[in-house]
Amino acid sequence: MQGEGNALDPLAPQPAAPPLELARPARSHKPYDFTHPLPYGAIVREGGVYFVVFSRSATAMRLLLYDRVGDTEPAEVISFHPEDDRWGDVWCMFVPGVGPGQLYHYQAEGPWDPKRGHRFDPRARLIDPYALALAGDFQPADDGVLRPPKCVVVDDHFDWQGDRHIRRPVAETVIYEMHVRGFTRHPNSKTKHPGTYLGVIEKIPYLKSLGVTAVELMPVHEFPILDWDGRPKQRPNYWGYDPLAFFAPHRGYAVSREPGAQVREFKEMVRALHEAGIEVILDVVFNHTAEGNERGPTLSFKGLENRVYYMLDEQGNYRNYSGCGNTVNGNHPVVREMIFHCLRHWVLNYHVDGFRFDLASILSRDRQGNLVPNPPLVEAIAEDPLLADTKIIAEAWDAAGAYQVGTFASTRWAEWNGRYRDDVRRFWRGDPGMVGALATRLAGSSDLYEPSGRCPYHSINFVTSHDGFTLNDLVSYNHKHNEANGEENRDGENNNYSCNYGVEGPTRSRKVEAVRRRQIRNFLATLLLSQGVPMLLMGDECRRTQQGNNNAYCQDNELSWFDWSLVKKHRDLVRFVRELIRFRRAVPTVRRTHFLRGRPEAEGLLPDVSWYDPAGGPVDWFSPQRSLTCVFAAPLGKDGRPEGKHVLLFLHADPEPGRFVVPEPVRHLAWRAFVNTAARPPEDIYPGGEGPPVTRFDWELPGRTLVALAAEATAEHGPALALPQGCEEQQAR
């Protein structure tokens, strides 16, 4: 059922709530006891529970208590006393005799005046904005009343067994973006609990073998499973970007159906990941909710204080900077307080290590939707002392045209670097004139982050993410193929900077497949050898495909799930990624904490970065050439001497073969083979950069090839030897 409010005629004035038949007499309650602190939500205390909710404009408030998840009507309805149970705009009371596991909703009466922003519906069953867990799902609404999942009173006690935040420096982080359900839901995952938090625990050995240091989980706070009328959605909400309750882990990822079990299982997952040395970053969606616009349902925020929680225009309509119908009013003090409580809740009660803020530019908008400098919410998140150990990452744009990559905020905020994604894609596709942009991205995007005093690690580098093509599809399709979404292929990004190299989609052509294999390795090597923080998309290490779908938000099926057979099928690529990550974590040369200057850090040393054309001469940054040579010199260690390895990169995006020369200033170094994307496995990568020594200074590379060499910074420099076998093989091999 679609429509404003929960009535069959949603635009009509809402009648007073009819008396509800109760299964038993309503219990007595007590006024709020202010010897306790005043948080919000359902707070368990000795002998009962405090229920605390904000509403400024409500004229009456009721608490609905249920006995069972499947009940359509409450067993008890308790009215808040307008004098004894209201303090300012906060309604609060103590209900004795209830405890953890209790199911509840709120009901609020108030004005129905959409032009003034009021949309109270006295029949609506409302989700507590501070609910710590939900149970059940939407139930049939044949009488015109929506029945959303029920809130659960939760006891937060959990044996963390001494677990604390890992606190790994951002510069040493390697992020793996993944979907909790999709990671293990495929039938061939061979997990006991597929598609769940516990299923993730079963696959921790795989994550650990890859070497990633953090998982970035797509939304795990509550979102709808069924449609508002209790029937299956026409387009399943697979991604989860449709919040119902910000404080509650998604019930659909729990094994147990016991109300509140998802709280315990989520904590078990975090604890297990921490034991493996893997941090947990949450993708949080504080920009909109599942209630939609004027035609959407009343489920929670609309029915409690619509004009506080949402940005509205002068006519009371919803401003839509999210592309999802409404926009959370994040810079209103009440909403800002809720967001802070929420972030602290996930950090303190769930031990999460960081947050990625979806469409974060919305957090920079004031109550009228204007982008403002130093927005209070963004600045306060950066300065919050309880969040000091966490990583905070912005998706620094929104659906209304704001694009703040490089200008989003202060030195605490890292950003998804969309410029990195686009420039690296264009370079390897072979677009002319991209060498300057590529060099800037390889070196940490100083053009974006240095002016604001930030560092290379504030750039979260990525080539692919959940939103768009997978890496396999980036090199297999010229165009999106989203027909399965049921929107006639109108949805999703049209400009992907992709290339199919001669055939759209899967092919048996050895020539085309050889180019695709090489390009996948080119992208991965570029990503993992760039300054900044790399982020991998789940399954890119084994060529997961979505068959050209670049907007699989509704594909809760094998199109989106991780196909575990690919790990074996593409074991050589998995090994390639594993060794790149191992090298990155061991070699500080490719994860500098300060921007490169192009000059030596001390007299007599190499410049920290040097750029050359393929012939070893100076680069013409304005030429249409598609090739570049880069030397990253090893940084100084604590003893004032170079530490680790020097790294030399030949990046050749031209489709035709090209001649490359080791630049004269670095010929004295004892270079050894590391990466050669044109070579057959296992010669495509040598662990630790300890491959055969090079035996010549110049050679011809096949088109679309990346070669990386490594040299010990402290080793005695012997005579230059030769590039290993494989660099002169032909492109179509």
Please identify which residue in the block is written with the tokens 């938000």: 553
SS3 call for 694: coil
Q: Which of 525, 521, 527 is nearest to 542 (CA)?
A: 521
Q: In whole angstroms, give the CA distance from residue 68 to residue 80.
A: 23
486, amino acid identity: G
Which residues are known catalytic residues?
358, 395
Predicted local confidence at residue 24, as pLDDT: 57
Could you check whether the bond before residue 682 is cis, i.e. omega within 30 degrees of 0?
A: yes
Predicted local confidence at residue 13, as pLDDT: 42
CA angle 89, 92, 95 (to 5 degrees): 165
Predicted local confidence at residue 144, as pLDDT: 86
Per-residue buried b or exposed e for 46-84, using 16+ beta carbons within 10 Å of the residue's own CB: eebbbbbbbbebbebbbbbbbeebebeebbbbbebeeee
Q: Token pair of 493, please?
A: 């990004």
Q: Token pair of 210, please?
A: 């890859």
Dihedral sign, Cα of residue 58, residue 61, residue 67, residue 71: negative
Question: Does position 3 have pLDDT exceeding 50, yes or no?
Answer: no
CA angle 587, 592, 593 (to 5 degrees): 135
User: Phi, psi at residue 105, to the nearest 5°?
Assistant: -135, 170
Grade residue 732 by pLDDT with cuts at 50, 70 and 90. Answer: very low
Looking at every residue in the chain, the average pLDDT score rounds to 92
Predicted local confidence at residue 409, as pLDDT: 79
* DSSP-based helix, strand, coil % in the chain, nearest 5: 25, 20, 55
Q: Which of 580, 531, 575, 559 is nearest to 472 (CA)?
A: 559
**pLDDT tens-digit profile of 414-459?**
999 999 999 999 999 999 999 999 999 999 999 999 999 999 999 9
**pLDDT tens-digit profile of 455-498?**
999 999 999 999 999 999 999 999 999 999 999 999 999 999 99
Please identify which residue in the block is written with the tokens 């061991």: 586
CA separation, residue 566 to residues 115, 541, 562, 570, 659 (Å): 55, 9, 9, 6, 35
Q: In whole angstroms, give the CA distance from residue 67 to residue 202.
A: 34
Domain residue limits, the chain = 30-152, 172-286+340-586, 598-712
Predicted local confidence at residue 148, as pLDDT: 97
**pLDDT tens-digit profile of 634-690?**
999 888 889 899 999 999 999 999 999 999 999 999 999 999 999 999 999 999 999
Predicted local confidence at residue 727, as pLDDT: 38
Q: In whole angstroms, give the CA distance from residue 135 to residue 152.
A: 7
Q: In whole angstroms, give the CA distance from residue 696 to residue 724.
A: 9
Burial class (CB in 10 A: 0-12, 13-18, 19+), 25: exposed
Predicted local confidence at residue 140, as pLDDT: 87
CA angle 285, 185, 157 (to 5 degrees): 60
Q: Token pair of 27, please?
A: 């219990």
Question: Does position 132 have pLDDT exceeding 50, yes or no?
Answer: yes
Burial class (CB in 10 A: 0-12, 13-18, 19+), 704: buried
3-state secondary structure 443-501: CCCHHHHCCCCCCHHHEEECCCCCCCCCHHHHCCCCCCCCHHHCCCCCCCCCCCCCCCC
Judging by DSSP bridges, how do beta strands 41-45 and 48-54 pair with one another?
A: antiparallel
Predicted local confidence at residue 141, as pLDDT: 83
694, amino acid identity: V
Q: In whole angstroms, give the CA distance from residue 222 to residue 236.
A: 14
317, amino acid identity: N
Q: Which of 195, 207, 203 is nearest to 279 (CA)?
A: 207
Question: Does position 19 have pLDDT exceeding 60, yes or no?
Answer: no
SS3 call for 575: helix
Q: Token pair of 369, please?
A: 């939707």
Q: In whole angstroms, give the CA distance from residue 533 to residue 424.
A: 15
First vs last Cα of the chain: how many Å apart?
57
What is the pLDDT averaged over residues 614-623?
95
Q: In whole angstroms, give the CA distance from residue 221 to residue 616.
A: 53
**pLDDT tens-digit profile of 29-75?**
766 555 555 689 999 999 999 999 999 999 999 999 999 999 999 99
**pLDDT tens-digit profile of 138-183?**
998 888 899 999 999 999 899 999 999 999 999 999 999 999 999 9
- Which CATH class, in words, describes the domain spanning 598-712? mainly beta
What is the pLDDT averaged over residues 391-413?
89
CB contact at 8 A, 186 and 195: no
CB contact at 8 A, 217 and 283: yes
Q: Is there a common fold for 30-152 and 172-286+340-586?
A: no
**pLDDT tens-digit profile of 312-353?**
999 999 999 999 999 999 999 999 999 999 999 999 999 999
CB contact at 8 A, 183 and 536: no
Q: In whole angstroms, give the CA distance from residue 109 to residue 59.
A: 6
CB contact at 8 A, 51 and 104: yes
Per-residue buried b or exposed e for 692-703, using 16+ beta carbons within 10 Å of the residue's own CB: ebbeebebebbb
pTM: 0.93
Length of the chain: 733
Question: Does position 250 have pLDDT exceeding 70, yes or no?
Answer: yes
Predicted local confidence at residue 440, as pLDDT: 98
User: Phi, psi at residue 90, to the nearest 5°?
Assistant: -110, 125
Q: In whole angstroms, give the CA distance from residue 252 to residue 581.
A: 32
Burial class (CB in 10 A: 0-12, 13-18, 19+), 540: buried
Of all residues in the chain, the percent with pLDDT exceeding 70 is 92
Homologous superfamily (CATH) of 172-286+340-586 is Glycosidases (3.20.20.80)
Weakest-pLDDT range from 246-255, 440-449, 711-720: 711-720
CB contact at 8 A, 457 and 171: yes
Predicted local confidence at residue 552, as pLDDT: 98
Q: Token pair of 512, please?
A: 């085309």
Q: In whole angstroms, give the CA distance from residue 265 to residue 287.
A: 27
Q: Which of 43, 47, 98 is nearest to 76 (CA)?
A: 98
603, amino acid identity: E
Contacts 24+ apart (CB under 8 A), 75-83: 75/22, 75/23, 75/24, 76/22, 76/23, 76/24, 76/26, 76/27, 77/20, 77/22, 77/26, 77/107, 78/26, 78/27, 78/29, 81/31
CB contact at 8 A, 727 and 679: yes
CA separation, residue 455 to residues 142, 278, 359, 449, 450 (Å): 57, 23, 22, 6, 6
Predicted local confidence at residue 716, as pLDDT: 40
- How many whole angstroms from its chain centre is CA 155? 28
Predicted local confidence at residue 2, as pLDDT: 35
We find that the CATH architecture of domain 30-152 is Sandwich (2.60)
For residue 511, the number of C-alpha atoms closer than 13 Å in the C-beta half-sphere is 8
Please identify which residue in the block is written with the tokens 């070699």: 587
Q: In whole angstroms, give the CA distance from residue 599 to residue 605.
A: 9
Q: In whole angstroms, give the CA distance from residue 213 to residue 457.
A: 14
SS3 call for 713: coil
- Which residues on adjacent β-strands are paired with residue 48? 45, 96
Question: Residue 170 gets which letter from DSSP?
Answer: G
Question: Does position 373 have pLDDT exceeding 60, yes or no?
Answer: yes
Q: In whole angstroms, give the CA distance from residue 92 to residue 106.
A: 12
Weakest-pLDDT range from 6-10, 55-59, 245-249: 6-10
